[in-house]
């Protein structure tokens, strides 16, 4: 690891004590939610709104911005396959109308207008919605945890599909330049994907400066080509009339459901708007959407429709046939760059989502490298990157074309959108206290779209839609096993344990324990019982430090916690003090830095002469199982794979003492 890298290991559990405050992870998070709200220290509080709006073009809108490459094409292909007759003029207008109104209702109204308001102290995403609902309920019920898990799992599945379908769809267009290139499509795609994932290790800070300029050129090109071909047939403007969209659905019956599954591709990437809220802020995202992205997409889809009305043969690949023959190759190169940027945004989003999930106790600790000294959001997760890369390669090789992958894409994204809608309804009612009638009025328009989209995409399950479902089921199984296993381990640890209060009383009476100078810090997941490392130190070494700190680490349901609320001190006796540390789920759990705040509250100790005691747990299966055998084995395997606690807590390695403990689960 280079000196510029900083390590961060995920949150609870594993072979070391999970950060908790003595309650279950759900109870700890709910309690932390009760603290006064403070805004996140997001970058959008200092940068100009216009600069952030331009920056969001390259990071947030890449996915939805590359949808014109395949959304219209796949919709027309689906219509052609579903009907015996050729595609008629009114059907082209109907498809374009569906594309436009999907953007208006689902993206502009749901995400940009409504859901962006549901931020958790400046942060967005499915888990932020879960945290908001959890704060309103003062607890995290199983059904809410389940919604969060399924939403996260589907998002991770979507993140695997996006690079594969985006890069494939762009590189395939080179066959329009010369058919001789067709045998090289898959190798070129694999080379691009490999280079993209290898780049993550060294960070993308330098090349990311080019993201926004390239994507601005991309959107300007989309608007220019669409506007130029708009005059091929101005009757395409009838697509603004929603009656054409409704008429298409009514007149085509079952076939319309098949087409809807492809129309849905136009709104993939909308979830990124909410997920990246913390990086840019509500106002810049809205400014970029309504002032630039939305007009460019509308012009392009209208131009594609007008081209197909004037030349039905152009339906084979309407976006790239918008370009004059002399500009086709540069346009394909630009499209390939745009899809790489869109893929990078999805990869970065995956890292952020996994960091949140680990912080909230849904996964074991994961190794996280910070690849930039100036930008906190520039992170790299080696294990996640390897799994992500392998998944993309398998998808490219297994399906071989963007058209085949289109049948895989929609199930995951439409599922995430429905879960976001359900959670948003809960926020509207429980957190914002909206009347039921107002919630229904606001939600029904886009909920109707999303239910139809989800039903349409379920029809694709036999053609490959089972892939994200299978992946999501596996991810949920891992998360549920980790949460349930962690709770079970905590319950097991409390059995036959000595209470901290009783131990302190016993030590005050004892004359056989040798008191040594210095400060000892014991990290524990339960402040009510004596830390196992403390018990082992007394039992085997027969010593007690002059000052002993029992440190409990909890993760709040908000992204950031200010230093003024970071630390709470409870004096237990002359030699013992309990210190509760609270971190936001987007923060690093830097224990030494947080403990330095204790000196401001009167605790006198030198952090450089302090010893940190950790309890390293290893697990053995029990004869009377508290968990099913398969789940027990999976939990033990996950705990062994958890990253080192010393690095996670940022402890000085030369002052850490680990004491082992075997626990039968």
Q: What is the per-residue pLDDT across 147-180, written as a single tens digit (0 to 9) for each?
A: 989 988 988 888 888 899 889 988 998 888 888 8
d(CA 318, CA 314): 5
Q: What is the mean pLDDT of residues 342-347?
A: 85
d(CA 597, CA 563): 8
CB 531 within 8 A of CB 524: yes
* 460 and 532 together in one domain: no
In a domain, 492, yes or no: no
pLDDT of residue 15: 37
Q: What is the mean pLDDT of residues 53-74?
A: 88
Say yes or no to pLDDT of 27 above 50.
no
Most distant pair of Cα atoms in the chain: their distance:
97
In a domain, 493, yes or no: no
Strand order in the sheet with 514-524: 567-571, 576-583, 543-555, 514-524, 610-620, 656-664
Q: What is the per-residue pLDDT across 398-417, written as a single tens digit (0 to 9) for each? A: 998 888 888 787 888 888 89
Q: Which residue has the higher pLDDT, 650 or 249?
A: 249
Q: Minimal CA–CA distance to 445: which of 105, 94, 118? A: 105
* 447 and 547 together in one domain: no
pLDDT of residue 623: 67
In a domain, 115, yes or no: yes
Residue 430, CA distances (Å) to 132, 227, 435, 518, 569 in order: 9, 45, 10, 50, 33
Per-residue confidence at 375, pLDDT binned at 50, 70, 90? low
Given 436, 451, 483, which residue is the final one in a domain?
A: 483
* 396 and 518 together in one domain: no
Q: What is the mean pLDDT of residues 8-29?
A: 36
pTM: 0.78
Q: Per mean pLDDT, which range of 302-316, 456-470, 645-659 is the poorest?
A: 645-659
Burial group, residue 259, by CB count within 10 angstroms (0-12, 13-18, 19+): buried
Out of 75-89, 445-459, 485-499, 638-652, give the one with best mean pLDDT: 445-459
* 231 and 313 together in one domain: yes
The answer to whether the Cα torsion of 123, 126, 127, 128 is positive or negative is positive
Q: Is residue 518 within a helix (H) or strand (E), and if so which, with residue range?
A: strand 514-524
Say yes or no to pLDDT of 496 above 80.
no
d(CA 136, CA 513): 48
* 131 and 221 together in one domain: yes
pLDDT of residue 30: 36
pLDDT of residue 16: 36
Say yes or no to pLDDT of 23 above 60.
no
* 245 and 110 together in one domain: yes
Say yes or no to pLDDT of 39 above 60.
no
% pLDDT > 90, the chain? 34
Residue ranges making up the domain that contains 509: 498-664
- Gyration radius from the chain CA atoms: 27
Q: Which residue has the higher pLDDT, 17 or 374?
A: 374
pLDDT of residue 393: 95
Say yes or no to pLDDT of 84 above 80.
no
pLDDT of residue 376: 53
* 132 and 46 together in one domain: yes
* 122 and 217 together in one domain: yes
Residue 322, CA distances (Å) to 99, 257, 517 in order: 18, 28, 78
d(CA 350, CA 475): 13
Q: What is the per-residue pLDDT across 227-238, written as a single tens digit (0 to 9) for each? A: 999 999 999 999
Q: What is the per-residue pLDDT across 614-630, written as a single tens digit (0 to 9) for each? A: 877 777 777 666 778 88
Q: Which residue has the higher pLDDT, 549 or 20?
A: 549
Which ranges of 463-572 would DSSP assign to H, the alpha helix? 466-494, 500-509, 532-536
d(CA 112, CA 401): 32
d(CA 151, CA 413): 9
Q: What is the mean pLDDT of residues 66-73?
A: 92
* 314 and 372 together in one domain: yes
Q: Which residue has the higher pLDDT, 37 or 607?
A: 607
Q: Is residue 270 within a helix (H) or strand (E), and if so which, with residue range?
A: helix 270-275
d(CA 203, CA 359): 22
pLDDT of residue 278: 72
In a domain, 634, yes or no: yes
d(CA 341, CA 503): 58
Cα-based angle 375, 217, 338 (whole degrees, multiple of 5): 65
In a domain, 270, yes or no: yes
HSE, side-chain direction, 13 A CA sphere, residue 383: 14
pLDDT of residue 28: 37
Our CA dihedral for 590, 592, 594, 598, rounded to 10 degrees, sits at 170
* 414 and 510 together in one domain: no
In a domain, 28, yes or no: no
pLDDT of residue 45: 43
CATH code, 123:
1.20.1740.10
pLDDT of residue 12: 35
Q: Which residues make Cβ contacts (< 8 Å) with residue 498, sequence separation at least 6?
A: 529, 530, 535
* 301 and 357 together in one domain: yes
d(CA 364, CA 643): 8
d(CA 154, CA 264): 16
Burial 331-361, CB ≥16 within 10 A → b, else e: bbebbbbbbbbbbbbbbbbbbbbbbbbbbbb
pLDDT of residue 546: 87
Per-residue confidence at 206, pLDDT binned at 50, 70, 90? low
pLDDT of residue 422: 93
Given 438, 458, 483, which residue is the final one in a domain?
A: 483
Say yes or no to pLDDT of 373 above 60.
no
Q: Per mean pLDDT, which range of 203-207, 244-248, 544-548 is the poorest?
A: 203-207
DSSP 8-state code for residue 378 = -
Burial group, residue 190, by CB count within 10 angstroms (0-12, 13-18, 19+): middle
pLDDT of residue 238: 96
Q: Per mean pLDDT, which range of 1-5, 404-408, 450-454, 483-487 is the poorest?
A: 1-5
Given 442, 459, 483, which residue is the final one in a domain?
A: 483
Residue 409, CA distances (Å) to 64, 104, 127, 164, 397 in order: 13, 21, 22, 10, 16
Q: Which residue has the higher pLDDT, 29 or 616?
A: 616
For residue 92, give the 3-state DSSP assignment.
Answer: helix
In a domain, 10, yes or no: no
Average pLDDT score over the chain: 83
In a domain, 27, yes or no: no
Q: What is the mean pLDDT of residues 281-302?
A: 93
Specify the number of domains making up the chain: 2
Say yes or no to pLDDT of 126 above 90.
no
* 112 and 202 together in one domain: yes
């Amino acid at each position: 690891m280079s000196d510029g890298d900083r390590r961060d290991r995920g949150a609870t559990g594993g072979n070391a004590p999970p950060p908790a405050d003595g309650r279950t992870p759900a109870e700890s998070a709910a309690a932390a939610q009760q603290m006064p709200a403070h805004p996140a220290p997001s970058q959008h509080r200092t940068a100009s709104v216009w600069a952030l709006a331009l920056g969001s073009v390259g990071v947030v809108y890449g996915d939805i911005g590359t949808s014109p490459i395949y959304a219209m094409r796949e919709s027309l292909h689906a219509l052609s396959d579903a009907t015996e007759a050729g595609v008629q003029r009114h059907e082209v207008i109907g498809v374009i109308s569906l594309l436009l109104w999907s953007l208006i209702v689902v993206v502009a109204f749901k995400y940009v207008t409504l859901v962006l308001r549901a931020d958790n102290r400046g942060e967005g995403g499915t888990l932020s919605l879960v945290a908001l609902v959890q704060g309103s309920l003062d607890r995290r019920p199983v059904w809410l945890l389940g919604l969060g898990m399924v939403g996260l799992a589907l998002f991770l599945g979507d993140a695997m599909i996006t690079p594969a379908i985006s890069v494939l769809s762009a590189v395939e267009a080179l066959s329009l330049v010369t058919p001789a290139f067709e045998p090289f499509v898959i190798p070129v795609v694999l080379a691009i994907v490999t280079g993209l994932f290898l780049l993550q290790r060294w960070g993308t800070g330098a090349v990311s400066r080019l993201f926004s300029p390239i994507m601005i050129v991309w959107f300007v090109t989309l608007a220019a080509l669409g506007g130029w071909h708009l005059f091929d047939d101005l009757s395409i403007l009838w697509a603004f009339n929603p009656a054409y969209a409704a008429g298409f659905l009514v007149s085509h019956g079952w076939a319309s459901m098949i087409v809807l599954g492809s129309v849905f591709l136009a709104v993939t990437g909308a979830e990124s708007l909410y997920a990246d809220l913390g990086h840019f802020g509500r106002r810049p995202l809205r400014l970029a959407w309504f002032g630039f992205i939305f007009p460019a997409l509308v012009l392009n889809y209208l131009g594609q429709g007008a081209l197909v009305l004037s030349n039905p043969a152009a339906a084979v690949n309407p976006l790239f046939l918008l370009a004059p023959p002399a500009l086709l190759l540069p346009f394909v190169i630009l499209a390939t760059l745009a899809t790489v940027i869109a893929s990078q945004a999805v990869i970065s989003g995956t890292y952020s989502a996994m960091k949140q999930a680990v912080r909230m106790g849904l996964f074991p600790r994961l190794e996280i490298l910070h690849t930039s000294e100036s930008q906190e959001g520039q992170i790299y997760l080696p294990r996640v990157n390897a799994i992500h890369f392998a998944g993309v390669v398998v998808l490219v090789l297994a399906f071989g074309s963007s058209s085949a992958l289109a049948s895989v894409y929609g199930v995951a994204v439409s599922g995430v959108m429905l879960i976001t809608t359900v959670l948003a309804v809960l926020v509207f009612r429980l957190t914002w206290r909206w009347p039921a009638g107002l919630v229904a009025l606001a939600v029904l328009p886009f909920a109707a779209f999303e239910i139809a989209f989800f039903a349409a995409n379920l029809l694709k399950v036999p053609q490959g839609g089972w892939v994200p479902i299978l992946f999501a089921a596996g991810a949920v199984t891992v998360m549920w096993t980790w949460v349930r296993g962690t709770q079970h381990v905590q319950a097991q640890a409390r059995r036959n344990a000595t209470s901290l209060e009783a131990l302190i009383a016993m030590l005050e009476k004892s004359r056989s324990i040798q008191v040594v100078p210095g400060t000892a810090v014991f990290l524990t997941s339960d402040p009510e019982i004596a830390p196992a490392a403390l018990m082992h130190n007394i039992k085997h070494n027969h010593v007690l430090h002059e000052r002993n700190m029992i440190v409990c680490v909890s993760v709040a349901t908000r992204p950031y916690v200010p230093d003024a609320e970071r630390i709470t001190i409870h004096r237990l006796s002359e030699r013992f003090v309990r210190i509760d540390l609270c971190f936001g789920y987007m923060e690093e759990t830097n224990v030494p830095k947080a403990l330095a705040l204790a000196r401001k509250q009167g605790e006198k100790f030198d952090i450089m002469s302090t010893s940190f005691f950790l309890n390293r747990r290893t697990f053995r299966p029990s004869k009377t199982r508290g968990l099913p055998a398969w789940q027990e084995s999976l939990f033990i395997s996950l705990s062994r794979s958890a990253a080192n606690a010393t690095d996670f807590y940022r402890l000085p390695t030369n002052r850490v003492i680990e004491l082992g403990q075997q626990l039968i689960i």
